[in-house]
């Protein structure tokens, strides 16, 4: 028992979660075809079950990183294998592992070609995603960040729909553009750190101590923020997302929406804002970011409303939801950040479920066109019920999970940016404007197309896929406390610290630098 | 053991690896002449050349125990030389391994192939280790002439001959530039010894003569490392040459020329950095931008890799222009990573090309990811590494170069490197797209790769991943090797300055 307790109190659980999928994925390459899907599912299930106890072993209210470790990796460069979990990353990790078995099951239905490579890539993707959420060394973070690119690229490019190659390359190049500039920024930080402390290090804790000169801070923040904004994606860097979503296989869409986008949000919260608080909270920068978030909320909602393609519609709702999340993150009050993180998780679940439901239709009719459906409630009532619940959760109906997150974001942000929040709140209305007509056109109305009369309702496997998602949607809507309290402590401390740093910084570092320059040039002035 | 270069006999000890190798090459030539030709196979010579390389490696290990008295000998005895020697020997061993299959397939029965390779390596080792302009020139020629012959080795193939002629003509020009530049530097610095030149040229004003000497040397080395705008010969020569020689050109020749480049510019002319920095800065920027753009439209994989290798010269130039300790160490580390990945990539291209090197077009690679999963996966690994994505040696190397550039204050070059890397993703991905995302057009059938080739590929793949995941030990080695490079140069400066005055 103590061995198990030890496993969950040290970094081993995280290390296992990172590398187990990689090993399992590699094993998948050599598994006989007949057992392949079971092996992949078993691996994903093990991953999930191992991660699940983290939810309870996580100490609520503790602000420091838990399960943390720092093993020297490249000691001469001060680069270490540094991991840690806090309230911000915990739920994102669990979201990843929760969706993994579901994605494997969805793939059972969909993928019947080159399966070995497929499951290997799907599992390897988990390595990168979990690594991103726990890495506390910028080098390590960057490595994991880039590692997620290749499997996703393959998932879209090999098993996607018609324009898959275009979408895959676009996805890759957009993300890589941001991350390469971030790499240069990381190196500049590295150099600053070395310059100021004399010991090279890329550890998160050490980098927080670096006093970044204002002139550099804007550039560095811009480089980091660009990488993350592309990933989130914030308007106007969002154009890769609809393409990637539409072309990706279902499991790819689910993971892309649920987890990969959250890497951008996480990057803002963990790195871009805390490392460069003065630049991040500079009024102009704040304005730009808020406008981008608002644009995301409103513009994407409008665009979503006119989409004839189900998957594209869901893709644009992602952009809109992520706009909310970014508003919460950027408002930097305890509540809004908590809401932002919680909404990230909620969005992962709801949008994941939406993509899965859309794929169920696609399996039956081989089209994503909304106009091809109608009156499904009479033909396939169970499916229609699920779609309605998930759709309502996505537009934040009270009692379902989406509401809790959006409410926290709006309440938290109102304190700081009332007008922006009021505008953002209209997004909730627009959400109803795109989601409800879609549901009406698919589920209600009359059956207009003969083929739809013969559709079969959800199979047992499909039920097994969608029920866990529905369960969480309701649970997190009705009883969100356990989720919120795990995030809250970290979110509050983080936002307080950043605000403090930024306010301090308004005067001191600039003055300090200026004073330093003066004293350097004229030794007598002090 | 102590080596004192005032006694000429000690040069024998200091040059032991080169002597071993040159002797073996001569013996191989004679052996090949007397060996019976009906075997129609040169692999015996190939295997023997591997033995010779092994012996030279042992001699190189022995070299590590030597100590130097003074530092004015024509040949250096520092970590830099030992590191590069190991590099060149190991890289050539890889090239020999992939040649064993190739020569058999293409019916190259002349054992001179391997003897010439060994001569070229001797030249490269001397080039990287010499501390005297004269020796640099001789080594440069020794290396080049052997390689001219190797490029044109497929005498029946007009492309091979064309490549050899182009390479030879432009190479001869570059030699001329080199010798002019050296003459001018000699005029300005009154010495051919690099250690002494640091003192004579480092102090006081730099005249027109020294400046022109530097410019001419930059051009000469620019030719050899195929820096833009002196890169015109590269794609043609790379495409026409026998594929193992292409790998040899891309990895080793470039490395050797860079090593001498660094010895002259970063060490001997390090104090004149402000004077040559601009020139090399532009060279680096152009060499990163131009080939990465041209490679976007290449349809022949060999040409694509040729442009990729030009682009890599640009990245190495960034390390060079940084002219600091991390820059030089980054060069060494990157050279190792680059050698294994480019040799590996060319080895796969060679395998897929089939007899007569016919299948080199990108469209020939469609669907290979599924019909030849191992070969395609390994090629994908090398491409990912060339692109500089983690977790591969290419990424760590690029990180090191970027670090050196940022340290030296060249953030602009770092940004150019990052953006051009992004551009390069496109064409590396294109190959992966073709292999994995396009259906097979014409079945390739079984590919022939013998045990030697597979061994070479396994080594390359292993090192690529090893350098990406556990780079700490090689990084330390690269760092240490550079240490005494600077020390020696500074020591000479200290010792000789009073005497000069």
Q: What residues of chain B lie within 8 A of the CB of A164, using their CB?
A: 437
pLDDT per residue over B32-66, tens digit each? 888 766 556 678 888 999 999 999 999 999 988 88
Helices (H), B191-324: 194-202, 208-224, 233-240, 243-248, 254-262, 273-294, 301-322
- Give the mean model confidence (pLDDT) for residues B88-115: 90
* pTM as predicted: 0.92
Strand partners, B233: none
Is residue B340 over pLDDT 50? yes
Identify the CA nearest to A188 among candidates B424, B41, B485, B406.
Answer: B406
Q: What is the mean pLDDT of chain A?
A: 90
- Give pLDDT, residue A525: 33
8 Å CB contact between B213 and B207? no
pLDDT digits (tens, 9 = 90+) for B69-98: 766 778 888 889 999 999 999 999 999 999
B300: three-class secondary structure by DSSP: strand
pLDDT exceeds cutoff 60 at A507 = no
Q: Would the pLDDT of A524 be above 70?
A: no
Q: How confident is the model at residue B487 (pLDDT cuts 50, 70, 90)?
A: low
Which residues in chain B are closer than 8 Å to A154, comparing Cβ atoms? 436
Query: Element (H or E) spanning A69, and its range?
Result: strand A66-74
d(CA A291, CA A246) in angstroms, rounded, equals 26
- Which residues of chain A neighbour B385 with C-beta distances below 8 Å? none
Inter-chain touch B403–A191, beta carbons under 8 Å: yes
Position A447 scores a pLDDT of 86
Q: Confirm if A251 and A122 have CB atoms less than 8 A apart.
A: yes
Long-range Cβ pairs for the range A305-308 (8 Å, 24+): A305/A430, A305/A433, A305/A434, A305/A437, A307/A370, A307/A434, A308/A369, A308/A370, A308/A371
Contact B406 A188 (CB under 8 A): yes
Interface membership of B296 toward A (CB under 8 Å): no
Question: Over the stretch A444-458, which tens digit does the pLDDT of each residue have?
Answer: 888 888 888 888 889
Write down the pLDDT at residue B275: 86
Q: Is the pLDDT of residue B223 over 60?
A: yes
Contact across the interface for A184 and B402, Cβ inside 8 Å: yes
User: Residue A66 forms beta bridges with which residues?
Assistant: A85
What pLDDT, in 10s, does the model give residues B256-311?
999 999 999 888 888 888 888 999 999 999 999 999 999 999 999 999 999 999 99
Q: What is the mean pLDDT of residues B158-168?
A: 92
- Best B325, B378, B425 member to test A by mutation, with max A CBs in 10 Å, is B425
Q: Do B425 and A154 touch (CB under 8 A)?
A: no
CB contact under 8 A, B426 and A173: yes
Q: Which residues of A touch B389 (CB under 8 A)?
A: 146, 149-150
Cα nearest neighbour of A147 on chain B: B390
Of residues A169, A181, A191, nearest to B406 (C-beta): A191
Q: How far is B307 from chain A (nearest CA, A)?
A: 20
Cα distances (angstroms) measured from residue B178 to each of A505, B20, B142, B217, B270 = 55, 28, 14, 5, 19
Place of tokens 């740093």: A501
| A526: confidence class by pLDDT, cuts 50, 70, 90 | very low
A147 to chain B, minimum CA–CA distance in Å?
A: 7
pLDDT of B397 strictly over 90: yes
Inter-chain CB proximity B390 and A142 less than 8 Å = yes
Task: Supply the pLDDT for residue A519.
Answer: 37
Q: ∠ CA B267-B269-B274 to the nearest 5 degrees? A: 120
**Count of C-beta atoms within a 10 Å radius of residue B390:** 25
Mean pLDDT of A465-472: 95
Indicate yes or no: CB of A180 within 8 angstroms of CB of B421: yes
**pLDDT score for A510:** 42
Nearest to B427 by CA among B309, B297, B286: B297
* Chain B residues whose beta carbon lies within 8 Å of the beta carbon of residue A114: 370
Work out the pLDDT band at B343, boundaries 50, 70, 90: very high
Buried residues in A164-187 as b, exposed as e (16+ CB within 10 A)? bbebbbbbbbbbbbbbbbbbbbbb
CA B216 – CA A345 distance, rounded (Å): 62
pLDDT on residue A522: 36
Whether A131 and chain B come into contact, CB under 8 Å, resolves to no
ipTM, 2 decimals?
0.91
| Inter-chain touch A191–B475, beta carbons under 8 Å | no
Q: Is the pLDDT assigned to residue A509 strictly greater than 50?
A: no
| pLDDT band, very low/low/confident/very high, at A378 (cuts 50, 70, 90) | confident
Low-confidence winner among A17-26, B41-50, B215-224 (lowest mean pLDDT): B41-50
Rounded CA-CA distance A411/A396 in Å is 14
């Amino acid at each position: 028992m103590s061995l198990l307790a030890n496993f969950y109190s040290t970094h081993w659980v995280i290390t296992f979660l990172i590398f187990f999928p990689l090993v399992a994925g590699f094993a998948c390459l050599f598994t006989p075809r007949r057992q392949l899907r079971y092996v992949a599912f078993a691996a994903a299930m093990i991953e999930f079950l191992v991660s699940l106890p983290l939810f309870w072993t996580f100490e609520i209210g503790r602000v420091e990183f838990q399960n943390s470790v720092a093993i020297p990796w490249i000691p001469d460069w001060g680069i270490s294998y540094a991991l840690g979990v806090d309230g911000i990353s915990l739920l994102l990790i669990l979201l990843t592992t929760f969706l993994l078995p579901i994605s494997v099951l969805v793939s059972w239905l969909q993928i019947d070609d080159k399966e070995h490579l497929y499951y290997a890539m799907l599992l390897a993707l988990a390595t990168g995603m979990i690594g991103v959420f726990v890495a506390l060394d910028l080098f390590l973070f960057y490595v994991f960040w880039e590692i997620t690119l290749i499997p996703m690229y393959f998932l879209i490019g090999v098993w996607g729909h018609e324009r898959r190659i275009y979408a895959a390359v676009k996805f890759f190049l957009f993300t890589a553009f941001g991350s390469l500039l971030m790499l240069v920024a990381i190196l500049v930080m590295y150099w600053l750190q070395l310059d100021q402390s004399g010991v090279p290090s890329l550890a998160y804790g050490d980098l927080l101590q670096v006093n970044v000169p204002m002139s550099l801070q804007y550039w560095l923040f811009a480089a980091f923020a660009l990488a993350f904004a592309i990933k989130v994606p914030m308007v106007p860097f969002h154009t890769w997302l609809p393409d990637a979503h539409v072309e990706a296989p279902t499991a790819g869409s689910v993971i892309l929406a649920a987890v990969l986008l959250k890497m951008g949000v996480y990057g803002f919260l963990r790195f871009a804002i805390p490392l460069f608080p003065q630049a991040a909270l500079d009024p102009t920068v704040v304005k730009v970011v808020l406008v981008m978030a608002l644009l995301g909320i409103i513009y994407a909602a409008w665009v979503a409303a006119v989409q004839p393609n189900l998957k594209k519609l869901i893709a644009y709702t992602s952009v809109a939801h992520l706009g909310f999340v970014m508003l919460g993150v950027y408002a930097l009050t305890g509540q809004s950040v908590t809401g932002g993180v919680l909404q990230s998780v909620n969005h992962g679940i709801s949008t994941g479920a939406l993509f899965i439901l859309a794929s169920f239709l696609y399996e039956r009719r081989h089209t994503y066109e909304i106009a091809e459906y109608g009156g499904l409630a009479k033909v396939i009532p169970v499916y229609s019920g699920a779609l309605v619940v998930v759709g309502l959760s996505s537009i934040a109906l009270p009692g379902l999970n989406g509401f809790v997150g959006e409410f926290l974001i709006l309440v938290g942000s109102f304190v700081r940016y009332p007008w922006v929040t009021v505008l953002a709140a209209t997004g909730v209305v627009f959400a109803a404007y795109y989601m409800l007509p879609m549901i009406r056109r698919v589920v209600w109305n009359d059956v207009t197309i003969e083929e739809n009369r013969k559709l079969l309702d959800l199979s047992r496997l499909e039920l097994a896929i969608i029920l866990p998602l529905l369960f969480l949607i309701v649970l997190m809507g009705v009883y969100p406390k356990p989720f919120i309290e795990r995030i809250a402590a970290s979110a509050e401390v983080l936002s307080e610290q950043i605000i403090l740093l930024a306010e301090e910084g308004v005067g001191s570092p600039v003055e300090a630098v200026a004073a330093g320059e003066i004293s350097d040039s004229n030794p007598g002035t002090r | 053991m102590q080596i004192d270069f005032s006694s000429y006999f000690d040069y024998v000890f200091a040059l032991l690896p080169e002597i071993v190798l040159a002797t073996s090459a001569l013996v191989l030539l004679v052996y090949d002449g007397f060996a019976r030709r009906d075997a129609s196979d040169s692999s015996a010579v190939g295997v023997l050349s591997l033995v010779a390389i092994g012996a030279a490696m042992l001699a190189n290990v022995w070299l590590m125990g030597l100590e130097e008295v003074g530092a004015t000998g024509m040949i250096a005895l520092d970590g830099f030389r030992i590191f590069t020697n190991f590099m060149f020997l190991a890289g050539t061993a890889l090239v020999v391994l992939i040649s064993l299959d190739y020569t058999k397939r293409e019916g190259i029965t002349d054992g001179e192939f391997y003897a010439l390779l060994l001569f070229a390596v001797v030249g490269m080792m001397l080039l990287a280790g010499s501390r005297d302009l004269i020796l640099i020139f001789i080594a440069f020629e020794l290396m080049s002439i052997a390689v001219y012959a190797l490029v044109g080795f497929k005498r029946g193939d007009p492309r091979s001959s064309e490549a050899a002629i182009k390479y030879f003509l432009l190479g001869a020009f570059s030699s001329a530039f080199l010798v002019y530049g050296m003459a001018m530097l000699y005029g300005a610095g009154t010495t051919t010894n690099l250690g002494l030149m640091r003192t004579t040229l480092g102090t006081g004003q730099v005249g027109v003569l020294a400046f022109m000497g530097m410019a001419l040397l930059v051009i000469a080395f620019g030719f050899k490392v195929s820096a833009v705008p002196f890169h015109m010969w590269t794609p043609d020569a790379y495409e026409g040459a026998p594929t193992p020689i292409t790998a040899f050109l891309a990895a080793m020749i470039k490395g050797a020329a860079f090593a001498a480049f660094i010895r002259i510019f970063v060490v001997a002319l390090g104090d004149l950095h402000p004077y040559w920095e601009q020139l090399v800065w532009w060279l680096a920027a152009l060499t990163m931008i131009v080939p990465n753009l041209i490679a976007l439209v290449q349809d022949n994989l060999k040409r694509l890799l040729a442009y990729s290798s030009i682009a890599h010269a640009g990245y190495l130039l960034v390390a060079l222009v940084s002219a600091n300790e991390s820059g030089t160490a980054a060069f060494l580390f990157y050279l190792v990573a680059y050698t294994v990945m480019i040799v590996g990539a060319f080895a796969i291209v060679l395998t897929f090309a089939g007899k007569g090197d016919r299948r080199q077009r990108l469209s020939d690679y469609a669907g290979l990811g599924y019909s030849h999963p191992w070969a395609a996966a390994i090629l994908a690994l090398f491409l990912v590494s060339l692109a500089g994505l983690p977790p591969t040696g290419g990424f760590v190397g690029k990180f090191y170069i970027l670090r050196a550039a940022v340290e030296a204050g060249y953030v602009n070059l770092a940004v150019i490197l990052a953006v051009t890397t992004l551009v390069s993703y496109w064409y590396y991905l294109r190959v992966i797209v073709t292999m994995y995302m396009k259906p097979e057009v014409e079945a390739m059938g079984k590919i022939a790769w013998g045990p030697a080739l597979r061994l070479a590929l396994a080594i390359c793949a292993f090192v690529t991943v090893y350098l990406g995941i556990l780079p700490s030990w090689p990084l330390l080695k690269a760092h240490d090797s550079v240490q005494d490079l600077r020390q020696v140069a500074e020591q000479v400066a200290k010792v000789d300055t009073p005497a000069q005055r």
